[in-house]
Structure 1
Amino acid sequence: MGKFKDIWDTGKDGRNAEKRSFIRYAIVATTLFVVLVGFVNQNNIVRWVKAGFEIRSQERQIERYSTEIKEMDSQIHGLTSNRDSLERFARESFGFAEPGDDVYVVGK
């Protein structure tokens, strides 16, 4: 840290004035570049980080929906292949009944 503090002291330049001046210029230019690219520019680091979080969130949502679709596909296959399961599903979900059945409605 001591060398870094000394670089800004122009009284210590001596024979290396040109070299130390260039180092100061390089440090300032690099700092400005990092600030401009990292925070001021439209495609800044903050937007990249937010986009990364959004992408991860969307990927998790895609996985959830894919799982849900697979479950629904298996349910559809079960309902279309077996008439008894389709009838049970219709009775449970929609309150359907065959003619002559006694239907009891229980309030929630």
Structure 2
Amino acid sequence: MDRFKDIWNRDKDGGNAQKRSFIRYAIVSTTIFVILVGFVNTNNIVRWVKAGFEISRQEKQIRKYAGEIEQMDDRIRSLTSSRDSLEKFAREHFHFAEPGDDVFIIEDKK
């Protein structure tokens, strides 16, 4: 750490003035480059990280919707394979009834 601090002290340049001057120039140039590329540029590291989080969020959402689609496909298969299951579904969700059935509708008061 002390060597790094000594790079900025011009009194210690001695015979290596040109070499130490180049090292200072390289450090400043590299720092400016990293700041520009990492944070200022439109295609920067911060944007890449945010994009990575967005991609993982969307992949999670895709898995969730794929599961829901599979459940719906199973329900469609069960409703189309049996007339009894279709009638039960129609009675429960659409309040269908056969002639002579007594229908009681109970509404939730919220």
Q: Structure 1 length normalisation: TM-score?
A: 0.97
Computed over aligned residues only, the root mean square deviation of the Cα atoms, in angstroms, reads: 0.7
Asked if 1:14 is matched to 2:3, the reply is no
1:36 aligned partner: 36
Which residue matches 1:2? 2
Q: How does 1:24-103 map to 2 (within 5 A)?
A: 24-103=24-103
CA–CA separation in structure 1 for the residues paired with 2:107 and 2:8: 82
**Deviation (angstroms), 1:107:** 2.4
Distance 1:31 1:76 in 2: 61
Return the letter of the residue paired with 2:12.
Answer: K
1:98 Cα offset (Å): 1.0
- Measure the CA separation in 1 of the matches of 2:19 and 2:98: 96
Aligned to 1:62, the other structure's residue is in SS state: helix
Q: Percent identity?
A: 69
Consecutive unaligned residues of structure 1, counting only runs of 5 or more, are none
Q: Deviations over 1:36-64 (max 9, x none)?
A: 00011000111111111110110000000
Unmatched tracts of structure 2, length 5 or more: none
Instruction: State the Cα deviation string for residues 15-42 of structure 1 (Å, max 9, x = none).
Output: 1111111111110011000000001100
Deviating runs (4+, > 4 A) in structure 1? none
The residue number in structure 1 matching 2:23 is: 23
The 1-side partners of 2:107 and 2:74 are apart by: 31
